[in-house]
């Protein structure tokens, strides 16, 4: 089922409607809007319960616990939706706080997902995945260069050039100095 809000009534005379269409839309809205509200409340409550059990969504869970995966399987939900529900509940604390702070997003799960995605993008910590990737690469490079191998030839020259560029970038981006 599409969770976009039913369109609101238009009074434009240029708009042509089938006879009885406005009444149909009013009837559909009367059914759909309470459903949407209840769906958001349920998703919020699931997020609260999961956060109580697993801790805040801002803290990475230990690998291998499988709780989120099991919940996803048992409730027939996507793991990504479970993560969104947890962030939704964590961000607002109470459903009433959500309704007060974000009245425009109380119409559908689609609106909440957009709100959460926007928040996540704008509040991205400086320790982003990209930085974690750089750290892993640097550590792997240190490990490889620490081995008792003699490095020479064209690849050694490329490594030197790449390391010089890495140091230059580190000095600029990380306020790093080689002593």
Label each residue of the chain as H, E or C: CCCCCCCCCCCCCCCCCCCCHHHHHHHHHHHHHHHHHHHHHHHHHHHHHHHHHHCCCCCCCCCCCCHHHHHHHHHCCCHHHHHHHHHHHHHHCCHHHHHHHCHHHCCCHHHHHHHHHHHHHHCCCCCCHHHHHHHHHHHHHHHHHCCCCCCCCHHHHHHHHHHHHHHHHHHHHCCCCCC
pLDDT band (50, 70, 90) for residue 63: low
pLDDT band (50, 70, 90) for residue 175: confident
Residue 132 has pLDDT above 90, yes or no: no
Residue 37 has pLDDT above 90, yes or no: no
In this prediction, residue 88 carries a pLDDT of 92
List the domain boundaries for the chain.
21-122, 129-173
In this prediction, residue 2 carries a pLDDT of 46
CA distance 15 to 67: 51
Average per-residue pLDDT for the chain: 81
In this prediction, residue 119 carries a pLDDT of 67
| Residue range 151-169: mean pLDDT, rounded | 84
In this prediction, residue 9 carries a pLDDT of 47
In this prediction, residue 127 carries a pLDDT of 60
CA distance 25 to 111: 21
Contacts of 112 (CB under 8 A, 6+ apart): 40, 43, 84, 88, 105
In this prediction, residue 1 carries a pLDDT of 46
pTM across the whole model: 0.56
Contacts of 79 (CB under 8 A, 6+ apart): 68, 69, 72
5 compared with 134, residue with greater pLDDT:
134
């Amino acid at each position: 089922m599409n969770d976009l809000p039913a369109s609101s009534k238009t009074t434009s005379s240029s708009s042509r409607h089938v006879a009885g269409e406005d009444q149909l839309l009013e009837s559909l809205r009367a059914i759909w809007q309470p459903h949407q509200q209840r769906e958001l409340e349920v998703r919020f409550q699931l997020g609260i319960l999961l956060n109580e059990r697993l801790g805040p969504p801002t803290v990475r869970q230990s690998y291998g616990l499988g709780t989120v995966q099991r919940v996803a399987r048992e409730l027939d939900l996507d793991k990504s939706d479970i993560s969104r529900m947890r962030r939704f509940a964590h961000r607002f604390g109470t459903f009433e706080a959500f309704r007060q702070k974000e009245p425009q997003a109380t119409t559908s799960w689609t609106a909440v997902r957009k709100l959460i995605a926007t928040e996540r993008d704008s509040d991205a910590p400086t320790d982003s995945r990209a930085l974690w990737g750089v750290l892993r690469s640097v550590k792997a490079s240190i490990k490889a260069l620490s081995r008792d191998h003699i490095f020479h030839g064209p690849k050694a020259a490329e490594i030197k050039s790449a390391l010089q560029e890495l140091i230059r970038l580190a000095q600029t981006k990380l306020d790093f100095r080689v002593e």
